[in-house]
Amino acid sequence: MRALIDTMQGVDAGHLLHGQQISVDRVRMRYATGTTALEDVTLSVARGEFVAIVGPSGCGKSTLLRLAAGLERPTAGSVALGTSSAAFIFQDPTLLPWRSVRKNVALLTQLAKLPKDERERRVDAAVEAVGLTAFAKQLPRALSGGMRMRVSLARALALEPEVMLLDEPFGALDELTRDEMQSQLLELHRRAEFTAMLVTHSVSEAVYLADRVVVMSARPGRISGVVEVGLPRDRDAAIRFDPRFVARVSEVSALLHGRG
Amino acid sequence: MASTTLPAVKTAPEATSAKRPRAAWARRAFVPSLSIVLGLAAWYFVSYALLTPDRRFLLPPAHEVLTRALLDPEHVRPMLEALAVTARITALGLTVATLIGVLAGILMSRSRVVEQVVFPYAVMLQVVPVLALVPLIGIWFGYGSFSRTVVCVIIALFPIITNTHFGMRSIDRSLHELFTLGRASGPRRLLSLELPAALPSILTGLRIASGQAVVGAIIGDMFFAQGEPGIGTLLAAYQATLRSHDLVAAIFLASLFGVAVFSLFALTSRLAVGRWHSSGAR
Ligand SMILES: Nc1ncnc2c1ncn2[C@@H]1O[C@H](COP(=O)(O)OP(=O)(O)OP(=O)(O)O)[C@@H](O)[C@H]1O
Ligand SMILES: [Mg+2]
């Protein structure tokens, strides 16, 4: 059944090795406009792993994520996703402005045709998890940018997905809100144990959240290096002052600036 | 969530805050009222100062229009009956135009080919003056109320098609992708995403179309006078017999009807989407 769904989505599950959740194999991506966004990219994400992708603007990070989600097909190579239960979190909140917070959070569970009481339970839990219970009946226009982003996060959480694909979800937030959202995401990942692939511009965000940081180089996008973070999974904001954290950050920065 | 509690900000004393809305309302109503008074003054000036008594029939003074036409049941009853006929044709024409227009707009946004096929005709509807089509409509559909409805549909169709199309095309790509990733069926996508997202646009189209449809129905009345008379039929008759009190009264009623239809759609817009979309908010 799962294989069937995956084939329907245009994602071939045949290439996954044991324990792998996402596999990108020698992928080239050339858009109709002639831009080659990715060249010979190979990347594998294990079940439960948190991988962050950093790279200069336009290097194909979003493209890579969209390929993993099945929103684009590679020009060459193959992409495999080991589950039909994946959630994509866009850079913008992407909410339906006529639906209340709660109904926005419920959207994907409705599309997935979950039974009603199961839906209610998950939606309540997700709204609670992002701290928006008091705003459940409000429309998105009544929320701040950070709160809208949390609605988007809750909508993905309500799906209880096995894979979360996040495209610069906190890019537009102020530093305080961003710190808080990052901690929340870490906490959720600890509890829900999904596989995560997160695109970000921020090196410290990448190191703070991920088990592994993939660094990409500019057009055509290639992987220029991978840094194993090697810090304990249950970390908190204080870890930013840990010498190991600082070392990893400078390692990623060096790769990013071509001094790897 | 760390939340800081701020000391309550001192609000203005009760008395002034209660008085202010009324004052603002009066201020807003003042200029329009003045404008109406000046308009009436100009009307009387033309009737009494510019027109000699033997030519006063060209523009009878306002109070005479009121007493001899609008307040006289013998005169006003046929006008109201005719207005009801025109209203029925307007409603029918708008309904048909809405069904065709929204459907065409949806199909155009679904397929590039349909868009290219329909678009030239939609533009033609807009640029060909409806008066130029009147003779043809008469030959084809006769000179009764069916042809009036046709005029109404033709004139109302363009704004509905283009606004529906525009509304559907302006939907954020990520929203579509959200539904794609959720594996939404076609009808589900239409009902849960496309129609609600395009609704403000569709309603804007309807608002414009409603004004046009009133014009179309009255023009239709004038040219296709067989069967029950509409308000346009009466206008033509009053003109032919130089019954200027009735003519001005009928024009007044027709305008009132136009305003009522337009306000109805403005109100519908506000009720339907004002909650979440700024286009319906005023
Ligand atoms: N739909 C598209 N059609 C044509 N070219 C595209 C499309 N999407 C992206 N590109 C091109 O592919 C390249 C990579 O784009 P992508 O959005 O993946 O970059 P990115 O790394 O996410 O950049 P940023 O950090 O600025 O978001 C860019 O040169 C872009 O112009
Ligand atoms: Mg991007």
Domain boundaries, chain A: 20-87+166-256
Q: Report, at the CATH architecture level, how domain B79-277 is classified.
A: Orthogonal Bundle (1.10)
Of the residues B172, B174, B190, the best mutation for testing chain A's interface (the one with the most A CB atoms within 10 Å of its CB) is B174
CATH of domain A20-87+166-256: 3.40.50.300
In terms of pLDDT, which residue wins out, A23 or B19? A23
* Cis peptide preceding A220, ω within 30 of 0: yes
The reply to whether residue B1 touches residue A131, judged by beta carbons under 8 angstroms, is: yes
Per-residue model confidence as pLDDT tens digits over B215-258: 999 999 999 989 899 999 999 999 999 899 999 999 999 999 99
Cβ atoms of A174 and A146 closer than 8 Å: yes
* Residue ranges per structural domain of chain B: 79-277
pLDDT tens-place string over residues B114-147: 999 988 888 888 888 888 889 999 999 999 999 9
C-alpha–C-alpha distance, residues B219 and B258, integer Å: 13
Residue B19 has a pLDDT of 56
pLDDT tens profile A82-97: 887 889 999 889 999 9
Does the model's pTM come out above 0.90? no
User: What are the pLDDT digits (tens) for A38-50?
Assistant: 999 999 999 999 9
With a cut of 80, say whether residue A260 has pLDDT above it.
Answer: no
How many A-B residue pairs are in contact by the CB < 8 A criterion?
Answer: 51
Instruction: Report which ligand 1 atom has the smallest distance to the Cα of A201.
Output: 25
Flag if B178 and A88 touch (Cβ within 8 Å): yes
Q: Is the pLDDT of residue B16 over 70?
A: no
**Structure tokens belonging to residue A231:** 């810090």
A236 by DSSP, 3-state: which?
Answer: coil
Residue nearest to atom 5 of ligand 1 (CA): A31
What is the rounded average pLDDT of the residues B103-118?
91
ipTM of the complex: 0.86
What is the pLDDT, as a whole number, of residue B157?
A: 92
* Interatomic CA distance for residues A178 and A172, integer angstroms: 9
Average pLDDT over residues A226-255: 89
Note whether B1 contacts A180, CB cutoff 8 Å.
yes
Beta carbons within 8 Å of A11's beta carbon, 6+ residues apart: A70, A79, A80, A81
**Which of A11-15, B40-44, B54-58 is predicted least confidently?**
A11-15
Q: Whose CA is nearest to atom 30 of ligand 1?
A: A58
Inform me whether the pLDDT recorded for A7 exceeds 80.
no
What is the band of A164 on the pLDDT scale with cuts at 50, 70, 90? very high
Q: Give me the pLDDT at residue B282, please.
A: 43
Minimum mean pLDDT among A137-141, B213-217, B251-255, B278-282: which range? B278-282
User: Is residue B143 within 8 Å of residue B136, measured between CB atoms?
Assistant: no
Substitution site in A24, A27, A28, A35 for ligand 1 pocket (most atoms within 8 Å of beta carbon)? A35
Q: Give yes or no for residue A146 having a pLDDT over 50.
A: yes
Angle between helices A145-158 and A175-192 (to 10 degrees): 10
Tell me if A61 CB under 6 Å of ligand 1: yes
Which of A2-6, A249-253, B269-273 is the least confident region? A2-6
Ligand 1 touching residue A58 (CB < 6 A): yes
Contacts of B277 in chain A (CB under 8 A): 97-98
Considering only residues A258 and A163, tell me which one the structure prediction assigns the higher pLDDT: A163
Is the predicted pLDDT of residue B73 greater than 80, yes or no?
yes
Instruction: Report the range of poorest mean pLDDT among A170-174, B119-123, B269-273.
Output: A170-174
Helix H or strand E segment including B127: helix B112-127
Segment B54-79 mean pLDDT: 90
Q: According to the model, what pLDDT value does residue B20 have? A: 65
Indicate whether A2 pLDDT > 80.
no
Query: Considering chain A, what percentage of its residues have pLDDT values greater than 70?
Result: 93
Query: Average pLDDT in the A51-55 region?
Result: 95
**Phi-psi region at A70: left, alpha or beta (left = phi > 0; alpha = psi -120 to 50):** left
A94 and B172: CB-CB below 8 Å?
Answer: yes
| Calpha distance B279→B203 (Å, rounded) | 9
State yes or no: pLDDT of A229 exceeds 70: yes
**Candidate from A70, A90, A111 with C-beta closest to B184:** A111
Query: Per residue in B45-59, pLDDT tens?
Result: 999 998 888 888 889
**Using CA atoms, how far apart are residues A45 and A79, in angstroms rounded to an integer?**
12
Judged against a pLDDT cut of 50, whether residue B4 lies above it is answered with no
* Average pLDDT of the residues of chain A: 87
Question: Which pLDDT belongs to residue A54?
Answer: 95
More confident residue, A145 or A16: A145
Backbone torsion region of residue A94, taken as left when φ is above 0, otherwise alpha when ψ lies between -120 and 50, otherwise beta: left
